[in-house]
Structure 1
Amino acid sequence: MVHRIRNQLNLISLASRHIADLVASNEIVRAMEVAEQVQLATAGLQSTLSQMHDLEAGHDLKRVLVVEDDSIQRRMIAEAFRESGYFVAEADNGNGAIEYLYSAAQPDVIITDLSMPSCSGWELSRVARTSPVCRGVLLVSLSGNAVPAATEGFDLTVAKPVDTKVMIAQIDQLLASRDGERDAA
């Protein structure tokens, strides 16, 4: 987590310098876009620090990996989960998600769009289902036109546009059920 904080601080620092350069060259619109990225990075840093505080207090954080090529959708879903007390990691395609899975702590849930460039949600689900790294991970698909046959192998399918409150409630229920089964075993 310290590594994540260091990366977020570096991003904020670099972006702040970039804003100054853009303003100096009269690229105000681009400077505003970068400022928005700084604001998002700052919010992410605050969320990470809050999660560290929760860990120190003994709270058991659930981890979710949000995989979505649409950055607006990804941020909306990620922020909703952060506000619900989840530790959130993000990837913009299946390849990024697979890289994360083999380099970081195992998530409890992977939420993935089905149609993405370079590595789709279907490909990601096949890797996750066959990998010992992902044993017990819940797989959730996001789709604008999901049909049952297309989402086979997923624990839950959520239709787009996503109602984050409903999705979080469904995932909380699935996790509680999974954890209850583990406790009974």
Structure 2
Amino acid sequence: MERLKILVVDDESRMRKLVKDFLAKSGYDVIEAGDGEAALDIFFKEKDIALIVLDVMMPKMDGWQVCREVRAYSKVPIIMLTARADEQDELQGFQLGVDEYVTKPFSPKILVARIEAILRRTNQTANEEIVSCGGILMDKAAHQVTIDGRPVDLSFKEFELLAYFLENRGIALSRERILNNVWNYDYFGDARTIDTHVKKLRSKMGEKGDLIKTIWGMGYKLEEDRQ
């Protein structure tokens, strides 16, 4: 399978190397840029960039301007990196069409997990109809789930919930975020409905239900089986 190409843009060489090393271990080709102008030159030259990891504060051209220029021509996924945990910055990023917003310092492993989740969501990874994790095998096209080879009968919403967990495995998900993505933005019910569905889903999954961890005060996370 052809390796997906990711553009990492940051004026700190140490930060670029850190991200590049983790992405390379996960099977991605990484191209580096040290400023916004270089990033745009590379992006329009390469043509096949699958995702951009983009720092906000950079010389010559900041991340916001790079994002505007890219969005004028492309819907390529963009993850913004920033040293400021500022709500206005985050809102500006989403208004510009940013897919994810990550505050420094961050865990490189979590960044890779977010990148993989975005690429699955935008159908850029191979076999996106087949998702597996820790003995759980989901065939989206056939709407079937097996656990260790055993068929599991799930309701439509339980299936959608498990699919969302699998696509975002390793990432802590708030109840509100799960509602927005599984029940859609027009759902105005109590977020605690998530707890009820998760309880039923865990029960049907048997021992593998333990892979869905509760993040107290927030929501849930599906962890990969390390056995």
Flag the structure with higher strand content.
2
Q: Please state if 1:157 is matched with 2:96.
A: no
Q: Which amino acid aligns with 1:137?
A: V
2:9 matches 1:67: yes
Residue 137 (str. 1) matches residue 81 (str. 2): no
More helix by share: 1
Matched to 2:109, the amino acid is: K
Shift of 1:61: 1.2
1:87 correspondence with 2:26: no
Q: Compute the displacement of 1:97 (Å).
A: 0.5
Residues paired across the two proteins, number: 123
TM-score (norm 1): 0.62
Q: Which residues of structure 1 form unaligned runs of 5+?
A: 1-58
Q: Is the 8 A contact 1:141 1:156 kept in 2?
A: yes
TM-score of the aligned structures, taking structure 2 as reference length:
0.51
Please tell me whether the aligned partners of residues 114 and 143 of structure 1 are also in contact (alpha carbons under 8 angstroms). yes
CA displacement at 1:138 relative to structure 2: 0.4
Residues 51-130 of structure 1 mapped to structure 2, 5 A cutoff: 59-130=1-72
Q: Which has the larger radius of gyration?
A: 2
Alignment RMSD: 2.1
Runs of at least 4 residues of structure 1 off by over 6 A? none
The AA in structure 2 aligned to 1:126 is: R
What whole-Å deviation, never above 9, does each CA across 1:28-50 have from its counterpart, x for those lacking one? xxxxxxxxxxxxxxxxxxxxxxx
- Structure 2 unmatched runs, 5+: 130-227
- Counterpart AA for 2:8: V
C-alpha deviation, 1:103, in angstroms: 1.5
CA distance in 2, matches of 1:106, 1:60: 11
CA distance in 1, matches of 2:21, 2:47: 19
Cα deviation for residue 121 of structure 1 reads 0.5
Aligned counterparts of 2:32 and 2:91: Cα–Cα separation in 1: 27
Shift of 1:127: 0.6
Letter in 2 for 1:62: L
Helix, strand or coil at the partner of 1:108? strand
Report the AA paired with residue 95 of structure 1: E
1:171 matched residue in structure 2: 115
3-state secondary structure, aligned to 1:102: helix
What percentage of aligned pairs have identical amino acids? Answer: 28
- Conserved 8 A contact 1:108-1:136: no
- Report the residue type matching 1:143 in the other structure: T
Deviation per CA, 1:78-115: give whole Å up to 9, x if none. 11111110010000011000010122242111001001
Shift, 1:136, TM fit: 3.5
DSSP 3-state at the match of 1:179 = coil
TM-fit CA distance, 1:168: 0.8
